[in-house]
Structure 1
Amino acid sequence: MSGDQLYQPVADGLTVNDAPGMRPADLAYAERQPFERIRARLDDALQVTGERPFCPQVGQSPEAYRRQLLQVLAPHTETYKRLNTGTITVDSADRFEHRIVSEAMTEPIRNNTLAAITKKDRTGRQITEYVGSIDSWMGMFKATPAESAIFVNGKPKAAPAIF
């Protein structure tokens, strides 16, 4: 991930540059790398939940930035809605990050919606992937359940399955 990808557009036409915080010129390349790796891991979940990611603040450590983004994602989970990421130790942060991101990625399924994830490939083309419930867009094409044409004593009975 290049330094410019940290500042790519996110959901609803917002860019990370719209958020307060440091700009690309504020950090040297070597200082920017830890923040970019954190953002790359959490970017899909941030886009799926529609959250606007923060830029790193002046003097903020990469671990504090990671906790800040996890705190933004936590309300979009079922298990960790009230989690205070300030109490997470550095050793357990990886485990919590994996769980929070995986639950946040399932939010569109829980809400029966689709969410777009926008990325750029190596050649610079914009690629959009969708995550969510198949019923949110394909439900209208489902056939209504057919009633049985077999009646026993005036009540419909299920037809035998034929395979």
Structure 2
Amino acid sequence: MQLQKSLLTTTLLLAVSSLTVANAAPITSDSFDVLLKVDQTCTVVTGATADIGLGTVAAGQAQLVGSEKTGSTIITTNCSVGSSAKITLQPVSSKSTDGTGKLKGSGPTTGQEIAYKLTSVSSAGPAWGTATPVTTAAATNYATGIATTVYATVTDTADVIPGDYLDTVNVSVTF
């Protein structure tokens, strides 16, 4: 009986031992990264920049005290965090680099021109063109637009044939 108990115990120990070895497979692991590259960006909010309306003035009086013609609009940009937009302006009429342009007449006023200038800070501020860009403050988040005001001021008397005069200004942003 003792021998039988001993054999039974040995058999049980071998069975438990084989189960433990079979269930104790080496533990393996792995890992992986999740990657995303975020590119720097600054964009103009399309369609948000309103036209600059300079109003109405009597012919020859655009520069008389009290009737100076100045207007402004806001250019809104969205930039990645920490980025600044460098904004350049170029009047289509003159393709000037210093922000000077010419309001041109159409129809009966074709060939007539009224000079104007683009500036930053104020109507008497620094010229704003392609050679004299304006740099915005650094963005604190992309969703918050950065507003930058541009001023247009008539720089001659507007002693021209009465009518409507206009020019287009192209806006470019680099960062």
TM band (smaller chain): under 0.3
The structure with the larger Rg is 2
TM score, norm. by length of structure 1? 0.22
Greater relative contact order (Cα < 8 A, sep 6+): 2
Q: Which has the higher strand share?
A: 2
Q: Which has the higher helix share?
A: 1
